Every structure is written in structure tokens, then in C-alpha cells.
Amino acid sequence: MPVIQVDGQEYEVEAGKNLLEACLSLGLDLPYFCWHPAMGSIGACRQCAVVQYLNAEDERGRIVMGCMTPVTDGAIFSLSGDKARGFRQAIVESLMLNHPHDCPVCAEGGECHLQDMTVMVGHRDRHYRGRKNTHRNQYLGPLINHEMNRCITCYRCTRYYRDYAGGTDLAALASRDHVYFGRHSDGVLQSEFAGNLLEVCPTGVFTDKSLVHNYTRKWDLQSAPSVCVGCAMGCNTLPGERYGKIKRVHNRFNAEVNGYFLCDRGRFGAGFVHDERRLQYPGLRNNDGRYDAINHHEALQYMDRACAPGKVAGIGSPRASVEANFLLRTLVGEENFAPGFSDAEQPLVELVLRLQQDSRALVPDITTIESADAVLILGEDLTNTAPRIALALRQSVRNKAYEMAAELRLETWQDGAIRNLAQDQRSPLYIAAVADTPLDDVATNRISLAPDDIARLGNAIAANIAGQPNADLEQPLQEQVEMITTALAGAQRPLVLSGTGCGSTAVLAAAGQVADALCGNGVPAMLCLAVPEANSLGQALLTGCDAPGLAQLQQRAASGEFDTLVVLENDLYRRGSSAQIDQLLGAFQQVLVLDGLDNQTTSSATLALPAASFAESNGTLISLEGRAQHHYPVFQPHAERRPSWTWLLACMKEMQREEVRSLHHFDDITRACAATIPALAGITAAAPDHHFRNAGVRIPRQTHRYSGRTAMRADISVHEPRQPVDEESPLAFSMEGLNRDQPGALLPYVWAPGWNSNQSLHKFQAEVGGPLKGGTAGARLLQSGIGAGPGTFTAPAPFKAEPGRWQLVPRQRIFGSDELSALSPGLAELVQPGFIEICAADAQLLGVTEGDGLVVTKGITKGATEGVTTGVDNTLATLEARINDSMAVGCAGFSVGLAGVQNLRPLAPVSLRRAEGWQRRSPELIGSDRDAGPGGTHV
């Protein structure tokens, strides 16, 4: 390892790093703006200047940029010499020439990297007396606020947005001191990852719009380590609360799950926590169908009476914690517990688990995904189902560039040089999907195929890799197979991705075949399969692969086996058609529902119990890579809201059930679950238990500057209650404790002296950009790469398009396809009504144009009928038509989860016809902050 000299002191540093990284890793404070640990250096801001000396005799030295200077053995630098410091001070002063007098009214204030760096270099007085440049702001959508005056032209935003995240609609415009970072005109930022601009921009140009209108400074937020419940990726988050409201969600660094970035569903999708539809008190339905609020004693007694006779079935939830599901399963008995998937989804998730367990391929984390040098995606639209993976794939295609750079002996952090070198050359990424996907722009090729054909393609690739002949593929497809085989077989770290998103088990199985065939050739292939919800995989692990489904429970209830149904945090009306779910719930005499939100299922309950959300409760969730992760309550639940596990535990205690006699704490349930379910034995390692103390004290949820403690509730009483004691975790609901050197799973916020912004993260990392000092959060449950192979698989018959009949294929949307994101006010503005996508030829055939209505009916083919009853209305939905020429022939895409699609099921055969009397939506007007709306006029 090279030894460098900094200010007379010798340090051993890691080779291949630049001086800035090395200094920060050594704990030396060197100011910077444009360098970012995930994006490398371009040397644009000139802030990280140091003086480098040729040798010990050299007294003059020369100024170099730390972020552009490789560390070489024997190099001599000065950080604190007058010349370097004077230069850095002058740079900040020049960056501040046009900076507005905004800090008090800037949502970045108090966690602003520019503030920190200004203080760090000691710049105090403004010498320039000229006039400041000003800019007009743009409307960038309901999520992100724009205040262009505050820009210091570091270029981080465009480098992130365009180069890293692949966005196209944000750019640097104009030149010299007119440079402007924005869109060509007002409009919603199109990237699914635009929210990261808030954390990437070192100033207050991009801020969180909902936060700006209900602002709390970082030091006043109470926060706790949490896990995103937006999808199965399990990104680590830091929700911040004040006055009982989640004010914002920031990224919590986890080197193996989400790194520095979140997607917008995760960042802006926690609004449901304080939605007005949240239940506050237990409600018991009275005779006229209305609900009477009761207290928790009455509620528990009622539960006891309902569950004691024993004829109870339970439906769990793939979005609730492992512990709550485990308790419900214990309450109702293993054979009476359904994991809570829809009947279509259950076999898919079970297959995902089986494939991952049986496969010889590795189940990758985000860093290994980024290291893949050839990628094949079968059927899944990852940007909309597990968005963070799509962002990682955009990095994996750059491995070609890194290879080219290695030949020229360029370091990996030399971002500008490497991008110039590689231009458009990328590692191979092949996508077979039902239609276009947002990753197409970096794909070598995207082929549109019906799900069955995707499975056949996958199967043929697998056979080809294994050197077996396969003759039954059409010629153009056969060519594709050859190309993909060459790419995958020639790669060192090939990655195959698929998921439940296209609704086909055959596609999943085919992905398993391809990965396994690669392993058979001795290549360490990776297999990554997406599942829909935050704990989907956890449910599969909990129940194993032959748990009862919803239909089975309904039949058994109808035969009199059950009286009572307990539903855990699950809106069943999203899991089947209204008729099916009505029938299911109707088969029980009483339905007890635990849920946070008033939805259609809670409205059909006999007793509804208010469950705490993820932000108010402890819980373990298992992500799609089989990582058990723990989320902690950010604040205490209001009114009678309690975590589901508390309700269920109390109910079983009330029933005096033997199994729960020794369970008192949340951790006891985790341990009991680990002891009972072999597949979940590892979950206790996800995070330290509630006895853990950090150097003898708890870890504070509040910063040491947390203000207003003696005034916040003084309007109620001046007698201040004791701070609540958290009996379930090692975190404290106060500012007392030690937020340093703790295990990685227990990081409630980042702050270090002199570093108030999120850039202080490097003080918590073992080395800059590397894992946290306390270790990476979470415990992997799936033993990767030790399976015996997925066994044989017979590809389905080729899909045949028939005139007048379409196969429904799912089209996922990042906002609205899941259950919760559309409940956040900002995202709700971006959720559109449901639609049907067909190709132009089909549209012409049906006589519709974009925006017309289409009636979807059960499919009828050439006289033959299937599930079609004559004489009744076979209409499934009436939706807006969208024309998309990339749709696979014979397929019609429907928007999953959006309004109006409840009765549509993936892969169902349907007929389409033009809807009469359809009211077209009026064309959308670009919103603007300039209308004197409730947002005020931020011109």
C-alpha cells in the first residue's frame, strides 16, 4: 500500500484511490463539492485543492485537485498550508458571489453541504459589491422544488440524473455565469429516481416539495433506522418525524442493498402514515352496519370470544412483518393460515423461493448486480417493480467502460475520462419483455414477446448454453438466442433476472434454467428474481410451499370448517375480483381485520383494529434477496394504534394460550419464530435485540440539537412528561445516548462535528464509499449457490395470436401499481387512471385512437367459449386505450393496480371492443407553482 505524506505526517493509504477519498478515509477534513463517492471525480468545482510537492526539497509546490490526484507512494501533500487554504477560501467566496440571502427560508439549511464547507474553509466576509445574478425557477412536478439561485454549478445534479440514472430531461443549459440546471421547459421530472437529486445536490436548489410546505429542520427530526415498504427490494431508509407526522424519507446507506440512492416510490411514498384514512380506534360493527369505537379492552375481549372456539382461519400479509405473521399463524394454526397472496401470485412467489433455494447460481446483492458484465432480463419490468435494481443495472452496463479504462490504466474514479472513452459502448444487456421497458435505452436489444414465448426463448438459451440442440424456435428468435448465448457464455459474471411481474411461472422457471445452465458451464452466474412486496419472500419462507390459498380457505369456510377469519394488514380486494372476495368474506360469520388504513376490507370487517404502520412499530422484513432486515419505530403510535404483533400477542395472552406464555417482548417473538421455522432461523441476526447498549447507553433518535422539548406540548400542559421509554429496542425516544460506533442496523441519522449534511456519512463508513463501520445491516437467509439445480422444465407451447382475442399482460407502474404509494399526496398527482395498451394495428382493427375507451370482456374464440356464460354481462373493465407499438403481438397490457383494473388477471384471454359514450380525459396541463395555488407562488 502506498505511503503518502500529508502535512508532514506519513499515512498508509489504499492504492487506486484519489487523494480526496484517501484524506476523508483518514478522517482529515478536506472540503469538496463535485466529487461523489458513487459517481467519482470530474474536478469541476476546484474546492478540494491541496498543494503537492515534487520532493522534500521542493518548497513552492503546486496546487492540485485532491479528487483528481491518484495517491502514489512517496507523494507529499499539504492540506493545511496557507496556499492551499487561501485557494479553497477564494473558491468558496467565488461560488458564493451570486448566492442569495436564503438560508433562513431554504429547506437545505442546517443540513447544507455548502454551509458546512463555507464554515470549514473559514470564509466569512463578502468582498464583491456587484449585483447578484438571478434565475427563474421551474415547475418540476409535485415532488421536487426548484430554487435555481442557490446553484454553485458543481454539476452533480446532471451527472447524477443523466450519467448515473439515465434521465434525459434535466440538463445544464446556457454557458459561463448563465449556466442553468433544469428542463427545457416546465414539467414533471421523468426519471423514477429524480428524488435522489435532493440528496445529491449540495445546496438547496432541489428540495422536497412536501417538506418545503411543512418544514422541519434536520436537527428537529426524530428518526430511526427503517426499511422501505414500497417493494421487495428492502432499501434502507431514514424517515424523519416531527409533531406526529413523517416529514420526509432520506436514504440510509447500506452498501449491499441500496447504497446511496432510493427510488421515488420509496422516498415520496410514506405519506400513507398520516393519511386521513388511518384508523385510530378499534371499531365494532353494529347492527346498522356502522362502526362504534371501542377501547382496546373490549376489543381484546371480543377477539378472545371470537377466536376461543377454535374455528379460526387467518390471512397474513406480504407487507406485514415476519413477527406479526408468525403470531397470526400460531393463533390460527399452520394449516389454517394463508400467506395472503392472491391465488395467481402465490404459486409465483413460491416458485421464486424454490428456484432461489435450488439454484446453483448466486443470489446477488446490489454490488454484485453492479458488477455483472452480461445481463439477461426475462419478462420483468424492473424499473417499475423493483426500481432500485434497475438503477444498479444502469451501472452494470458500464463494466465495458471500466474494462476499456483498465486497459489504459485509468482509475475507476476518473469518471469524465471513462465516459468519454467508452461513449456508447456498454456491456450486453438483453431484455425479453411483453413490451418496452424504461431500461431499453441501455439495452443491447429488447425483444417483445408474449410470456409463453419469453419462457421458450429462455429455455432455448439455456439449452444452447448447455450445448443441447433446440430446433423448434422461429428463425428470428433463433438468431437472438445465438446472440444472447454468446454474450452470457462469454461473460465472467453473467446475471439473469426475472420476477413475478409478468405473472408467468414458465418465465420464472426459464430464468432459473438459464442461470443454472451457466453454472453448469462453471461460470459463477447470478440469478435475481423480483417479488412484489416488502415481505413476500418472508411469507413464502414462513409458510413453505404448500400453504392454503384464498380460494381454499373460502371452500373450507363454506363447508363449515371455520367461523372466524382474522385478516392481517391486507386489503383483500386487491387480491381478487370484488365478487370473489365478497364470497370469501361472506363465508365467515365474523371477520376481524387488523390494518392501518380504512380500506374495502376493513369496511367489511366485524371488528377492525387500528394497526401501527412501519414507522410506528418494530418488524422484520425479508427482501427479495432473502435479507432479513429490521425496522424500528420512528415515533410512538397515536390513539389506540398498536403494532399488529402487540394486538395479536395481547389477544393470545387474553386467550391464555400456552405458546405465548413466555413471550413478552418483540424480540421474544423473533426468537420464537426463528426457533419454530427452520427457514427463518437466521432472522435473529438481522439486528441487535433490545438489551443492546452502545458503550452502556442507548442510541438516540433525536439529534443533540433537537429543539422545543419544553414547549412542544406546553399548550396541553406545562408539566412535561418523562420521555417515553422504548422497551422493544436499543434506541431512545430522546437526544440522550451515543450515535457513534454502533452496529450498522442501528443508525438513526448521520451527523458529525462540522458535517451537518448527509455527506457526514463518510464518518460512519469504514472507508469512504465502503460499508458502515458497524457492519452492513441485515442477515442473508438464503444460502446462495448451493442448490442442486432446478430440475428439468418443459417449455410451454408457442403463443398464437388469434384474431379478436388478446392475452392480458401486466404493465407495472412505479406509482400506483403497489398498494401504498398512491396514498401519498405528491405521488397521487402522478398516478393516472387505469389503461389498456395495444399496438397500432390492433387499435386500427378496433377503430380506436389513443384516449378512446376500450371494453374488456372475457375472451371468446372462434365460437368456443371459455369461462364465458352467455346471457350475462361478461365485461371485466372499461379502460382508456393507449397505443404502444412495442406490445407483443396478440397481447394487451393492463396497468396493474390502477383504478378500474380489479377484475383483470394476468395472462387471461380477453376480447376487446370500442366503448361507446366514452368520455375522453381532458389533456393534462403542466402544473405550475406560479398559479396562486395552495403551494404559494414560488416564481
Partner 1 sequence: MLKAMISQLRTIWTILQHTFTKAETVQYPEQMPYLAPRYRGRIVLTKDPDGEERCVACNLCAVACPVDCIALQQGVKEDGRWYPEFFRINFSRCVMCGMCEEACPTNAIQLTPDFEMCEYDRNNMVYEKEHLQINGTGKYHDYNFYRVTGLAITGKDKGQAQNEAEPIDVKGLLP
Q: How far apart are CA 760 and CA 755, in angstroms?
A: 5
Q: Which is nearer to partner 1, 171 or 899 (CB)?
A: 171
Binding ligand SF4 by CB under 6 A: which of 155, 413, 755, 835? 155
Chosen from partner 1, ligand FES, ligand SF4, none, partner binding at 203 (C-beta under 5 to 8 Å by type): ligand SF4
Smallest gap from residue 37 Cβ to ligand FES (A): 11
* Joined grid coordinates for residue 470: 433446440
Stretch of 118-126, 299-307, 382-390, 788-796 contacting ligand SF4, by CB under 6 A: 382-390
Q: Which range in 1-9, 226-234, 647-655, 666-674 contacts ligand SF4 by CB under 6 A?
A: 226-234
Report the amino acid identity of residue 888.
A
The yes or no reply on residue 240 touching partner 1 (CB under 8 A) is: no
Nearest residue (CB) to ligand FES, 24 versus 795: 24
With CB under 6 A as the contact rule, the residue among 37, 166, 266, 700 that binds ligand SF4 is 266
CB closer to ligand SF4 out of 330 and 383: 383
Nearer to partner 1 by Cβ, of 90 and 712: the residue is 712
Q: Which of the choices ligand FES, partner 1, ligand SF4, none does residue 47 contact, using the CB cut-off of 5 to 8 A by kind?
A: ligand FES
State which of residues 49, 143, 154, 566 lies at the interface with ligand SF4 (CB under 6 A). 154
Going by their DSSP bridges, the two strands 607-610 and 590-595 should be labelled as: parallel
Q: Are 235 and 228 in contact (CB under 8 A)?
A: yes
Give the integer Cα–Cα distance in Å for 776 and 770.
10
Q: Residue 485: name its binding partner from ligand FES, partner 1, ligand SF4, none (Cβ under 5 to 8 Å by kind).
A: none
- Examine residue 661 and tell whether it contacts partner 1 (CB under 8 A): no
Q: How far is the CB of 145 from ligand FES (least distance, A)?
A: 25
- How far is Cα 689 from Cα 666, in angstroms, rounded to an integer? 9
Locate 150 and state its grid cell.
442557490
With binding defined as CB under 6 A, does residue 273 bind ligand SF4? no
- The H or E element containing residue 314 is strand 312-315
**How far out from the chain centre does Cα 208 lie?**
17
Site string for partner 1, 174-193 (x = CB under 8 A): xxx-x-x-x-----------
388 is a site residue for ligand SF4 (CB under 6 A): yes
Q: Does 136 bind partner 1 (CB under 8 A)?
A: yes
C-alpha cell at 153: 454549478
State yes or no: residue 104 binds partner 1 (CB under 8 A): yes
Query: By CB under 6 A, which span of 85-93, 202-210, 609-617, 744-752 interacts with ligand SF4?
Result: 202-210
Query: Of residues 238, 263, 530, 901, which one binds ligand SF4 by CB under 6 A?
Result: 263
Q: How far apart (Å, rounded) are the C-alpha atoms in residues 910 and 924? A: 30
Q: What's the alpha-carbon Rg for the chain, to the nearest Å?
A: 29
| Total residue count of the chain as it appears in this document | 939
Q: Are 865 and 412 in contact (CB under 8 A)?
A: no
Strands (E), 823-904: 835-838, 853-858, 860-861, 864-865, 875-883, 891-895
Q: Is 755 in the site for ligand SF4 (CB under 6 A)?
A: no
Stretch that binds partner 1, among 117-125, 217-225, 337-345, 416-424 (CB under 8 A): 217-225
| Residue 658, burial from CB neighbour count under 10 angstroms (0-12, 13-18, 19+) | exposed
**Ramachandran angles phi, psi of 530, nearest 5°:** -90, 140
- Pick from ligand FES, ligand SF4, partner 1, none: which does 79 bind, CB < 5 to 8 A by kind? none
Sheet (strand 62-65) strand order: 9-12, 3-6, 76-78, 49-53, 62-65
Cα angle, residue 343 at apex, residues 337 and 345 outer, rounded to 5°:
105
At 874, which amino acid appears?
N
Q: Which residues bind ligand FES (CB under 6 A)?
A: 20, 32-35, 43-48, 65-67
Place of cell 389513443: 850
Report which of 71, 65, 61 is spatially closest to residue 31, judged by C-alpha positions: 65
**Please, are residues 750 and 761 in contact by the beta-carbon 8 Å criterion?**
yes
Distance of closest approach, residue 20 Cβ to ligand FES, in angstroms: 6
Binding string, residues 100-139; x marks residues near ligand SF4 by CB under 6 A: ----x-----------------------------------
Query: Is residue 281 a contact partner of residue 293, using CB atoms and an 8 Å limit?
Result: yes
- Contacting ligand SF4 within 177-196 (CB under 6 A): 181
Q: Which helix (H) or strand (E) holds 584?
A: helix 578-586
Nearer to partner 1, 291 or 706 (CB): 706
d(CA 17, CA 13): 8
Q: Give CA torsion, residues 825, 878, 385, 275, to 10 deg.
A: 20
Please say which residue, 67 or 591, places its beta carbon nearer to ligand FES.
Answer: 67
CA distance 377 to 786: 23
Report the partner that residue 45 touches, choosing among ligand FES, partner 1, ligand SF4, none (CB closer than 5 to 8 A by kind).
Answer: ligand FES
Nearer to ligand FES, 412 or 600 (CB): 412
**Residue 213 in contact with partner 1, rule: CB under 8 A:** yes
Nearer to ligand FES, 66 or 451 (CB): 66
CA distance 426 to 416: 16
Grid cell 440571502 — which residue?
Answer: 101
**Cβ at position 102, least distance to partner 1 in Å:** 5
Q: Taking Cα atoms as reference points, which of 882, 866, 886 lies closest to residue 874? A: 866
Q: Which one of ligand FES, partner 1, ligand SF4, none interacts with residue 492, CB within 5 to 8 A by kind?
A: none
The site for ligand SF4 (CB under 6 A) is made up of 104, 151-157, 181, 201-203, 205, 228, 230-231, 233-235, 258, 262-263, 265-266, 386-388
The site for partner 1 (CB under 8 A) is made up of 100-105, 109-110, 131-137, 147, 149-150, 173-176, 178, 180, 182, 212-217, 219-220, 242-243, 705-712, 714-715, 717-718, 932, 934-939
